[in-house]
Structure 1
Amino acid sequence: MNDQIPKAVLTEALREQISGRRVLAALFCTFRFEPGFFEQEILPALFDLPLHQAPAVRRLQLEDALRPLAGQVAVYYDRGALVVGDGTACLDVRRIPVQLTRGYFHPKNAFILVEDEDTGERALVALTASANLTQAGWWENVECFHLDEIPEGGRSRTAGDMRLFLRRVRSLAKHLGPHDALDQVNAFLSTVQPITQRSTNQVLHPHFIVTGSRSGASLVEQLDDIAGKWLRGADLEVISPYLDDADASAPLAALLDRFQPQRWRILLPEERGSARCRKSLYEWVHARGGQWGRLPAAHTARSGRQASGLAASPRYVHAKVYRFFTSDYEISFVGSFNLTGPAHQAGGNIESGVLVEVPRPRRPRFWLEPVDETPDFAPTAASEDDDVDLDVIPLLVRYDWTSEKADVLWDAAAVSPPLDVHQSGPLFTLPPLQSATWTQLPDADARMLAERLRSSSFLTVVDGDRRGVVLVHETGMAHRPSLLLELTPAEILRYWSMLNPDQRAAYIAARPGDIPDGGAEAPHIPAAEPVDSIFDRFAGMFHGFASLARTVREALTDGRTEHARFLIFGAKYDSLPVLLQRVLDDTDGDLVDRYLTVLCAHQLTSEVRQDWPQFWASDPIGVARLETSLAARAELREQIAARNGEDMVDFLDWYEARFLDDPAEVPA
């Protein structure tokens, strides 16, 4: 950061920092949250995958990529700032709303735990930014961010403060859990050795700063405590899209009084050519000896599809940057802090930022170009709560795909009124609910909710004249049916046999026009050409099961337990229980093929039960469902024997014992 304003694409910078390493956990914090955009455009940065251009096919690829991370990707967001947007919320992401009694949950962070698969070395990629998890934040606005990496067992000045921040986030989301991603990141940070000194060799260490605790210090007090001797007397530049709707800025006055900058300049918040602040505040800045400024047009101009001819409006400046610089050094503070009272004071918003000394290849200069002419003023000042749903309905809804149970909780002090819940029409009605108490839904309502969740996790809740949108908190995602796709038994076996993600993606995308973006229908991919011999049919079946067994063994050996769970106990389009159910439902199919498929499944599950007993015991509901399907082998045997005479019973006894490799069952 110097007189040349740095530029980078946030998604590309994050992907480059991860650098092809395997993601073990990912925790995001945001004010505004657009789940559809997050799933389609931000999640892909976590994976080194050649994703298909069709959104529906890409969603299927991401669904597969998330399997080893089951429960280890989480987003914490302000409940009043949910953005429905385009798309839906359907992938395995823990979506956890946070609501403060005072102020907003306003941080913008990502904590991504990664591992080098060759060396086994782990690290934490830490992103601190001004960008919400929305299309505007990651694609359209002018934003700022700081990326850092903390090695396992290394030393860090920020790790301790990050742990305190995560502890605060966990306490605010006390009603929803589990918090697997947060716990993993916190456990990793506990291995990092703290750096206690503020600087080394007169170079400031990065500092992670948080406000929001009533017993804590204000932003100005924290800046002074950390780096006051460097900040005093330096030039000051403030870029913030929001200011207090007041005649004077109390947080700016606190900065000026505390640090006495030689020169200072502040961004003029503008929209459609008008200043979004009071005229009296504009004049107050000049009276205090400051200047208003704008970013150069080259940094706010739209490009590509964003532009709409010469009349296109400039990009909205949403960055939050505080630059302190002299001829000798520059110290910048970037993050979520607007120049407002709730952001700066103790007990206001929960905010986060990083104070960092920036390498100085040349003498720093102001980024903002001075505004010489008095602008027009908009009727109202820009506010942090612009577009926030002030009619928040404090209902929490969770659904567990493993137990097939649903619960609701009224997160307010008083008893709730009766509530109507909708999704594409009425869903169910809730009677008055006690405060802060989970109430299980009737089984019929839970089944109806599960059916609607296959299309979207958004619900509309109606309280009289108030309407609010809530996101269902889903767990047990291995047992969640695939949103977009169903395969025939032959197609599942072919899918298991494919060698790499590229082949599987090409197979799924064979008929992309048949896969809907909305996910309301579940199309069939064209089946393979019929084979000509019993040998070809059986060889394909055995090869498919051998490939599945190899994949499961590798996953369990490598500690990727959740990936194995999806395949052995899950409800996805390529899971073993789904194959068995398809076979058992296909009463017109070849009887011997159906019998051999169940026998292969029995062989595979016996191996898993014997070699990985802890994994087998970890999902009793999944085991029970699987064993119910496997029990159909007896009925299929009877049907084969009935068609072929009593000698077939002896043959099947001998064949099954040989097939299952159990000498105890081989007749003498």
Structure 2
Amino acid sequence: MSEGIPRAVLTEALREQIKGREVLAAVFCTFRFDPGFFEREILPALFDVQLHQDPQIRRVQLEEALRPLAGRAAVYYDPGAIVTGDGTACLDVRRIPVRPRTGYFHPKNAIILVRDPSTQERSLVVLTGSANLTQAGWWENVECAHLEEIGEHGRSRTAPEIQRFLEHVRRMARNFESHIALDDIRGLLRTVQPIVHRSANHRLHPHFLYNGRRGAMALVDQLDEIAGQRLYGVNLEVLSPYLDDADASAPLKSLIDRFQPSKWRVLLPEEGGVARCRPELYDWVRERGGEWGRLPRAVLARGGKQAAGATSRTVHAKVYRFFAEDWEVTLVGSFNLTNPAHSGGGNVETGMLSEVTTDRRPRFWLEKIEEPPPFAQPVGEDDAVDQGYVPLLARFDWASGQAEVLWDGAGDSPRIEVYDRGVHLFEIGRLEPAIWTALAADDAAILRERLRETSFLTAVVGDQRGIVLIHETGMAHRPSILLDLTPADILRYWSMLTAEQRNAYLAQHGGKLPGSGADLAVESVPVKPVDTIFDRFAGIFHGFASLRRAVRKALDEGRVEEARFRMFGAKYDSLPVLVEQVADDSAGDPLERYLMVLCAQQLADDVLDGFPAFWESDPSGVFRLEQALAVRAVLRNQLVARNDAEMAEFLDWYEPRFLKTEAVPA
């Protein structure tokens, strides 16, 4: 590292680290969580696909890109810090609230399991930083992050530390049983051989630090245990946007007393030229021999420009730098310079401690402040958190249609009124703590309908109002964002060979979505004109053969949820959706519709015979498919009515032979 401050765009840095590899699972941890922004702007960094600029169309494309993960993307967040933003959540992401018994769930991490398609090598991309999953965190603030990679069956100092942290997260998310993304990542970490030494060749190995658990050491003790004498008597620089509302800083005093820095400088939290700390604390730092500083204007300027009158970005980074003449050790993460962050049993925090490569003598990033600024009331990162918090959890299973609620507070719940954007939905009576309770069928139906538009509810208890983010499962059965594909469109979509073709096709049809930009240009997918009976029937057979290959391949490789999306789901290209479209009298020629239903029945029989356990695992999906397939009798009667008695005799002979033989080559 040079004396300059390293800079990068967070999403671009993450995308560059993934390098187009296949994402198998992804776990995010955050304090503040804006689920709409996360889906629109952060999730795309995981996928090497060209996404449309229109948000609605991009969501349709992301819905397709997420299919191979099928529930293996998860966000763990503090339920008291939900940000409703300007949108809602609708994609297949597990949204799991984590509420520690003391303090807040405050880490900011992205841990992504990737696989190289050419070598099949798997590894973890690990991002540890300060940015919440919000627009401010990923687009606006000055943030910090550390990226590293852990290879399967490799060696790592951080792997066992990350493993223990994820186990702690799983225990804290005690109200949810399924954590498949977390378990997949922990599975890879178990293959990694731990590095037991703290350093090698006088160079510190990276260390993953976390606290907020019983028996955890304070941050200063963790730093001392890991780096020891190396941190004594060198320069110290601290960037923290939040300080304790006190006349003196206990965490800073601990750092100074323990490591006795030769020179030390602290970021002055400012907003609009006004210092957000007590003047007594400002004087205390100066009296202890420290200095206050601020980042250079070039770093704070929006868009990297220092135009006159331009507003400055908010500093939200948390960085602790220990440096001497030829080396630097840096802690990057979520640790504010506050008591709850530094104590072992306060907030849940994470950080990455690493030695940074230097090509010249490190210098302070902060420019020294000579004159005291004006002061205002100090603010904390948890300001406004919990003011509207009601400890109610809600989840909805699209496969069964069941909705459940859980009271996560102490003792039984009072009566709870549930609203959506000011509209009263239903009332919840007394709930025992920590027990999932099913809502009445009518209330579940109301919730199902509301989920088509929003994933947020407002829970009202007395004069307390809180936002509840609904946890959704069974997403294969969630109606798709894209609802207007015809049977011919679906068959054509099944037949497309590459992800690029499918992506362009979705962009074309996504342009018809309500709310998408009508004047946006979308790339058309070249389609061969269908003029003859041979072309039409060949297209039907080809589409079903492609679907059969995709389903069997997914099941053979253990991607059960992906196969569920295709066989039993409610998406635009799911098999039941096509058959239901075919049942519509306006869907086209009865002969073509009849042949499509025969192909669908043949595929259903093939999957039932080849994968009976999969078939039995989704009774609601099977029921929907079998109900749809019952239209075959109606279509058969229509064909007979249009012809004569010989047609009935022919179909009696033809149907069993078609269904029992490989009429569609696989």
Q: Assess same fold via TM > 0.5.
A: yes
Q: Does the C-alpha gap of structure 1 residues 123 and 644 become closer, same or farther in structure 2, counting only changes over 3 Å? A: same
Task: Answer yes or no: is the 8 Å Cα contact 2:61–2:506 preserved in 1.
Answer: no
Residue matched to 2:160:
160
8 Å Cα contact 2:234/2:262 also seen in 1:
yes
> Which deviates more from structure 2 when the two are superposed, residues 578-587 or residues 599-608?
578-587
Contact 2:505 2:524 survives alignment (8 Å): no
Q: What corresponds to 1:504 in structure 2?
A: 502
- Secondary structure, counterpart of 2:426 in structure 1: strand
Q: Corresponding residue for 1:377? A: 375
Aligned position for 1:652: 651
SS at match of 1:95: strand
Change (3 A) 1:477 1:273: same
Superposed, 1:223-622 pairs within 5 Å as 223-303=223-303, 310-378=308-376, 380-424=377-421, 425-510=423-508, 514-517=512-515, 532-586=531-585, 589-622=588-621
CA deviation after TM superposition for structure 1 residue 102, in Å: 2.0
The TM-score with structure 1 as length reference comes to 0.94
Distance 1:124 1:513, change over 3 A: closer
User: Matches of 2:307 and 2:234 in 1, distance apart?
Assistant: 41
Contact 1:56/1:484 (8 A) holds in 2: no
Asked if 2 retains the 8 angstrom alpha-carbon contact of 1:198 and 1:204, the reply is: yes
Q: Which runs of 5+ in 2 are unaligned?
A: 518-522
Question: What letter matches 1:175 in structure 2?
Answer: N
- What CA distance in whole angstroms lies between the structure 2 residues aligned with 1:187 and 1:367? 40
Q: Indicate conservation of the 8 Å contact 1:269/1:382, yes or no.
A: no
What does 1:204-219 correspond to in 2, within 5 Å? 204-219=204-219
Gaps of 5+ in 1: 520-524, 664-668
Would the aligned equivalents of 1:482 and 1:571 in 2 still touch at CA under 8 Å? yes
Q: Deviations over 1:535-578 (max 9, x none)?
A: 44323322322232233234334443322221111110111011
What residue in structure 2 maps to residue 114 of structure 1?
114
Q: Is the 8 A contact 1:25 1:73 kept in 2?
A: yes
| Matched ranges for 1:93-172 at <5 A | 93-172=93-172
What are the superposed Cα offsets for residues 415-467 of structure 1, whole Å, 9 maximum, x if unpaired? Answer: 22222212242222111222211111111111121111112211112223222
Instruction: Show CA shifts across 1:5-61 (max 9, x none).
Output: 101111111111111111111000000001111101110111111111111111001
Match in the other structure for 1:45: 45
Query: AA paired with 2:263?
Result: R
Counterpart for residue 666 of structure 1: none
Task: Name the amino acid aligned to 2:343.
Answer: Q
Change (3 A) 1:308 1:506: farther
Equivalent residues of 2:575, 2:600 under 8 A apart = yes
Q: Secondary structure at the match of 1:303?
A: helix
Shift in Å, 1:530: 9.4
Q: Counterpart of 1:272 in structure 2: which amino acid?
A: G
Whether contact under 8 Å (2:326, 2:360) holds in the other structure is no
**CA deviation after TM superposition for structure 1 residue 138, in Å:** 0.6
Aligned-partner Cα distance in 2 for 1:57–1:458: 22
Change (3 A) 1:399 1:20: same
Q: Single out whichever of 115-124 and 488-497 deviates more from structure 2.
A: 488-497
Q: Which amino acid is 2:382 matched to?
A: D
The one-letter amino acid paired with 1:398 is: R
Q: What SS does structure 1 have at the residue aligned with 2:549? A: helix
- Contact 1:74 1:181 (8 Å CA) reproduced: yes
- Judge conservation of contact 1:228–1:259 (CA < 8 Å) in 2: no
SS at match of 1:53: coil
User: How far 1:308 sits from its partner (Å)?
Assistant: 11
The 8 Å contact of residues 57 and 505 in structure 1, kept in 2 or not, is answered as no
Q: Which amino acid is 2:536 matched to?
A: R
Q: Partners in 2 of 1:417 and 1:612 — Cα distance? A: 47
1:241–1:320 CA contact under 8 A, matched in 2: yes
Return the alpha-carbon distance in structure 2 between the equivalents of residues 295 and 82 of structure 1: 29
Alignment of 1:624-639 (within 5 A): 624-639=623-638
The 8 Å contact of residues 52 and 505 in structure 1, kept in 2 or not, is answered as: no
Give the distance between the partners of 1:558 and 1:184, measured in 2 at CA: 15
Cα contact 1:74–1:95 (8 A) shared by 2: yes
Tell me how far apart the structure 2 counterparts of residues 661 and 513 of structure 1 sit (CA, whole Å).
Answer: 41
Which secondary structure does the structure 1 equivalent of 2:508 belong to?
A: coil
- Which string of whole-angstrom CA distances, capped at 9 and with x for unpartnered residues, describes residues 101-124 of structure 1? 321110001110111111111101
Distance 2:99 2:387 in 1: 12
Give the conservation status (yes or no) of the 8 Å contact 2:399–2:474: yes
Name the SS of the counterpart of 2:85 in structure 1.
coil
* Pair 1:367–1:486, CA change in 2 (3 A): same
Q: Distance in 1 between matches of 2:362 and 2:528?
A: 68
1:609 Cα offset (Å): 2.6
Q: Is the 8 A contact 2:75 2:93 kept in 1?
A: yes
Give the AA of the match of 1:85.
Answer: G
Corresponding position of 2:520 = none
The alignment partner of 1:509 has SS state of: helix
Identity of aligned residues (%): 63
Map Cα deviations across residues 465-523 of structure 1 (whole Å, 9 max, x no partner): 2221111101111111102433222222222223333333333333655323499xxxx
Aligned residue in 2 for 1:221: 221
Instruction: Give the number of equivalent residue pairs.
Output: 656
Structure 1 distance, partners of 2:197, 2:73, is: 33
2:214 partner letter: R
Indicate if the aligned counterparts of 2:510 and 2:516 stay in contact, CA closer than 8 A.
no
- Cα RMSD between the aligned structures? 2.3
Quick one: distance in 1 between partners of 2:384 and 2:286? 30
CA distance in structure 1 between the partners assigned to 2:508 and 2:65 by the alignment: 19
2:594 is paired with a residue whose SS is helix
- Aligned-pair distance for 1:309? 6.2
